[in-house]
Structure 1
């Protein structure tokens, strides 16, 4: 006789309920401790002489491969560059040292003059090799090249305060960018970035960050919450479906450009940005604006799209201290209509998604900052100069 085996009845396990705000607070504390440990490790490496010794050895090894006259030319070039502004505009990489030595303008490093490096032209696919020994440079201005990545020796430029690299072919930013403790401005707009490294949050002196026009960018890392000195953030013309959480932790933010993304709403705690002055949210899919915007005492300008917008706080659009600009786009033949604060203005056909349209809007908005009210009608015109 076979005995039937009894199958134990599973006992339901209670599912714990967590407070979302409590979990977020714990997470933020852990992130802060992690950033602090990274900062201490970075300071330890910067105070170490190993990086400088490695750089000198690499320089000596490179000099061994040069001929005598080339070595003398390089030494003279590096010596003169420490006292003059460095400008790179060679037509080929073989002549970059000689060309820079001949064409460098005589601008001494006095007062507010900076030691800067300039590179321009689509013939450039990589940085010149000699750049790795110019760690005294304070500014990089690299535009309209085919460079796809930043050099591995970027972390050696501890005095770098401005890194301007718009309109290139960058596919990623290295984690070493977090070691640029003196960095104040970073512009990587109109590249091919799909992500921003979390280590950028270690650049706690950063004041201006521009990452617009990277169409594959859909999020910012939470670690950017450590950018407490950031005043200008431009993430327009990307693929953001919601405002990154880190943005609301940037307590010094004065200008926030979220235009031309995929936003459908704004968070209800945007009033955490108590120093915000200018907010661009046009060219999104917003149907309403949150009431919390009226709690920001410094807010002076809001630019929105009016096609889908059906609910706006009365205090926001009727406050004389706030310039509330509502844009409407509707095709009429070869022209489009734009409405500003309830009034219409005409302009030429809208250009493609590039920097020209953005520059025009920035100039137009700047003209409104010193006016008591917006103009009744404005026409966008194109002026060409024949020389």
Structure 2
């Protein structure tokens, strides 16, 4: 159909590019428009937009699906429009000449432009790899490993409760009494060891408590005013309060490593969280978050991220792809319709929990998660498992609901190295006279159910065989 306007600067006259046009993995029949050696591997609409914007071009992104694209997943949607000419007909940028076209292609696609875009894209990737290599060399030559070792030791000492220390002391005292008749000198040595152990634990707790801030209970409606001056803190633990937001002055806590703020009714995370370059653990479970700030992707040292039970959460910003050190991601009990694209770019992710969401299918490029070991997909409506999942050589456990599952690769079913757990989400429950379930809070029920599932699944890890169902199996015969 003819254009409604002849103005070359109107968006209706912009050049259209689908990701399939420059995808080196596509065939000509599937929509590739240039030579395979000049294309890039599985580009996304967002990546094309970023490269063109960096080149100084005027770009628009439209929510369109390429007609030849067979996969209807959200990550394959998108069309890019590029302004080539100004209102007077002159080129927007002279370096992007539109005079050279492919002889075999009748469409108005400048081959020279696509080559420059490819060079820009590969240049960005090369610079990013160089920065990562320099950072790894800097870390290897620094004292970070020793500091991390000391930090892990402190965490271990903190987990050793006073009751456990008392029990160990009693054991040593009892050993002293038994050995007193054999070696007189052993009594003094063990008593001294007990005293040193007890003193060491007390000193360690005292030292660690200086760097840890804890707040519990619904009586708290706001944070103490003096907290903003304690920038030396390394851990925040705020549980089940009525505090509705994290203050913006958190950006001053550059040494913060653990931010544990579940069950507080938080509605948003401040953008200043991107300043916490030392952050390693973030727990925002069972809050009321509607979105995640893109600045969280700047926390490059983050290793564990938990966002369970935020009912309105349905997407993650693409900038989170920068979390290349992330190993554990929990986004269960939300409204995700598919695995976010940024998650598929997290190459070091070993555990992904996206259970109890709205998934119906898995992306074909799920094999990007090369380091994945554990995948929780239960309480979704996944109908088929793609064949590409067999490329996950490190996969050890897959938990999936089998109510609507009709296709799964035989390699996953038969592999002795993969613990496959197929659950049915229609358990038969009996009424309990002692417990009035109507008075139990829904959030508490979800948390208890999640804890039960985790305990149940962990108990299956040491078994030689795994059950094919939990409480109910339906069999039918068609004659």
Task: Sort the Cα spacing of 1:123 and 1:317 in 2 relative to 1 into closer, same or farther, 3 A.
Answer: same
Identify the match of residue 217 of structure 2 among 121, 133, 150: 121
State the match for 1:172 in structure 2.
Answer: 268
Equivalent residues in 2 for 1:185-264 (5 A)? Answer: 185-264=281-360
Shift of 1:371: 2.8
Verify the 8 A CA contact 2:329 2:352 in the aligned structure 1. yes
Corresponding residue pairs, total: 292
CA distance in 2, matches of 1:121, 1:151: 19
CA distance in 1, matches of 2:251, 2:304: 19
Equivalent residues in 2 for 1:277-292 (5 A)? Answer: 277-292=373-388
Verify the 8 A CA contact 2:324 2:347 in the aligned structure 1. yes
User: CA deviation digits over 1:267-321, x for unaligned, max 9?
Assistant: 0001111100000011111111111111100000000011111111111111111
State the match for 1:89 in structure 2.
Answer: none
Equivalent residues in 2 for 1:124-139 (5 A)? Answer: 124-139=220-235
User: CA deviation digits over 1:303-352, x for unaligned, max 9?
Assistant: 001111111111111111111000113354628xxxxxxxxxxxx9x995
State the match for 1:19 in structure 2.
Answer: 19
State the match for 2:448 in structure 1.
Answer: 356
Give the secondary structure class of the aligned counterpart of 1:153. helix
CA distance in 2, matches of 1:377, 1:282: 12
Identify the match of residue 368 of structure 2 among 250, 262, 272: 272
Structure 2, unaligned stretches of length 5 or more?
24-39, 55-120, 132-157, 159-200, 432-436, 472-479
1:320 aligns with 2:412: no
CA distance in 2, matches of 1:253, 1:9: 49
Deviates more, 1:310-319 or 1:226-235: 310-319
Shift of 1:28: 6.1
**Bigger RCO (CA 8 Å, 6+ sep):** 1
1:369 aligns with 2:466: no
Task: Sort the Cα spacing of 1:106 and 1:268 in 2 relative to 1 into closer, same or farther, 3 A.
Answer: same
Verify the 8 A CA contact 1:114 1:138 in the aligned structure 2. no
Task: Sort the Cα spacing of 1:360 and 1:14 in 2 relative to 1 into closer, same or farther, 3 A.
Answer: closer
Q: TM-score, normalised by structure 2?
A: 0.56
Identify the match of residue 143 of structure 1 among 218, 232, 239: 239
Verify the 8 A CA contact 2:267 2:288 in the aligned structure 1. yes
More helix by share: 2
Verify the 8 A CA contact 1:114 1:139 in the aligned structure 2. no
Shift of 1:368: 2.1
Verify the 8 A CA contact 2:372 2:392 in the aligned structure 1. yes
User: CA deviation digits over 1:189-233, x for unaligned, max 9?
Assistant: 100000000000000000000001000001000000000000000
Q: Which has the larger radius of gyration?
A: 2
CA distance in 1, matches of 2:269, 2:5: 54
Q: TM-score, normalised by structure 1?
A: 0.68
Q: CA RMSD in A?
A: 3.3
Give the secondary structure class of the aligned counterpart of 1:354. helix
Shift of 1:367: 2.0
CA distance in 2, matches of 1:319, 1:126: 53
Shift of 1:106: 5.9
Task: Sort the Cα spacing of 1:175 and 1:15 in 2 relative to 1 into closer, same or farther, 3 A.
Answer: closer
CA distance in 1, matches of 2:450, 2:235: 24
Identify the match of residue 399 of structure 2 among 282, 303, 309: 303
Verify the 8 A CA contact 1:302 1:323 in the aligned structure 2. yes
Verify the 8 A CA contact 1:251 1:272 in the aligned structure 2. yes
Task: Sort the Cα spacing of 1:364 and 1:197 in 2 relative to 1 into closer, same or farther, 3 A.
Answer: same
CA distance in 2, matches of 1:325, 1:202: 36
